[in-house]
Amino acid sequence: MRYVLLNKPFEVLTQFTDENGRATLKDFVPIPKIYPVGRLDFDSEGLVLLTDDKPLQHRLSEPRFKVPKTYWVQVEGVPTEEAIATLRRGVDIKTSFTAPAEVELLPESPAIWERPKPIRFRANIPTSWLEITISQGINRQVRKMTAAVGFPTLRLVRVKIAHLEVENLAPGQWRELTAPEAAKLKAAFSATKMPAERQVLSKEAKTKTASGPAAPGAGAPARKTFKPAPSNFKRPAGSDQSPKGSSDRPKRGPKTSRPR
């Protein structure tokens, strides 16, 4: 299996082909049969994970698995505390309502590479940077969120996927994950965890975990099990079931034949 991190440059498609001749991942990653996990917009920059591990790719791309992604976002103006609180709670972006997010106003501009095309500047309007972490997969979500609170996005850079960071990768550079990085990612999100992360339970242990939650430190959390609701029916007193082979009904007499 191959696991590759790429710092996607500005105005590069997160795919390997394009009918219109625009730059694609093929121009930077010469590895066949690997595919991007999720997407990063043409006009956004930063971290993209590529792999040929299809179960892992599915889980990392599926919003219900809530993989956190962190962005540095340059916005027009300086967001107020009220705007930041709204971003944290969730924002109405017309087509849907965003889930709560982690949002911080950075005290200064991050040390980051220059973009080939400078952002638009307005003489009388300052810019500022936010750090936003989300786990949804709504198209152009961060841009819609900042616009909804009155601070349009000017530049968007993804700097982290789960525990993986862009670090020292320059735009267009890529590297393969180390063995510990890949193992940690698979242990957290793969359809089948690494053998070292699994725990085989005895029949007795399985019975105990099915009857209630595992005690702290007792290993993996118990799998959810369907439990039928308790019945309100009570057997009348004295009507206990008789031992097998006996009956409370009177015994029949000897069988006689009727005259024909």
Q: Which CATH class is domain 1-64+166-196?
A: alpha beta
State how beta strands 127-134 and 3-8 pair: unpaired
In the structure, what pLDDT confidence band is assigned to residue 50 with cuts at 50, 70 and 90? Answer: very high
Lowest mean pLDDT among 31-40, 55-64, 241-250: 241-250
Q: What is the pLDDT of residue 251?
A: 52
pLDDT of residue 66: 86
Superfamily of domain 68-161: Alpha-L RNA-binding motif (3.30.70.1560)
Q: Please compute the mean of the pLDDT values over residues 159-177 and round it to a whole number.
A: 95
Report the percent of the chain where pLDDT is more than 90: 57
**pLDDT for 218 beyond 60:** no
Q: How far apart are CA 89 and CA 101, in angstroms?
A: 7
pLDDT at 191 over 90: no
Confirm whether 1-64+166-196 and 68-161 share one CATH topology.
yes
Which DSSP state fits 20? T
Residues whose CB falls within 8 Å of the CB of residue 34, separated by 6 or more in sequence, listed in order: 2, 4, 50, 51, 52
Q: CA-CA distances (angstroms) from residue 84 to 91, 100, 101, 129, 181?
A: 10, 11, 10, 12, 32
What mean pLDDT do residues 31-48 have? 94
Q: What is the pTM of this model?
A: 0.72
pLDDT class of 175 with cuts at 50, 70, 90: very high
pLDDT of residue 65: 82
Mean pLDDT of 128-135: 96
Share of the chain above pLDDT 70, in %: 73
Residue pair 35/103 in contact by the 8 Å Cβ criterion:
no
What mean pLDDT comes out for the span 163-191? 91
Mean pLDDT within 169-173: 96
Higher-pLDDT residue of 90 and 63 is 90
Q: How many CB atoms lie within 10 A of CB 50?
A: 21
Per-residue pLDDT tens digits for 3-15: 999 999 999 999 9
> Poorest-confidence range of 14-18, 27-31, 57-61, 186-190?
186-190
Task: Give pLDDT, residue 138.
Answer: 85
Q: Per the residue annotation, which of 41, 52, 53, 240 is the catalytic one?
A: 41
Give the pLDDT score at 255: 54
| Tokens standing for residue 54 | 């299809």
Instruction: Check if 52 is active-site.
Output: no
Average pLDDT over residues 22-44: 94
Tell me the C-alpha distance between 250 and 260, whole Å: 28
pLDDT for res 123: 77
SS3 letters across the chain = CCEEEEEECCCCCCCCCCCCCCCCHHHCCCCCCCEECCCCCCCCEEEEEEECCHHHHHHHHCHHHCCCEEEEEEEECCCCHHHHHHHHHCCECCCCECCCCEEEECCCCCCCCCCCCCCCCECCECEEEEEEEECCCCCCHHHHHHHHCCCCEEEEEEEEECCEECCCCCCCCEEECCHHHHHHHHHHHCCCCCHHHCCCCCHHHHHHHHHCCCCCCCCCCCCCCCCCCCCCCCCCCCCCCCCCCCCCCCCCCCCCCCCC
The residues spanned by each domain of the chain are 1-64+166-196, 68-161
What tokens were used for 185? Answer: 């990612």
Kindly state the average pLDDT of the residues 178-206.
63
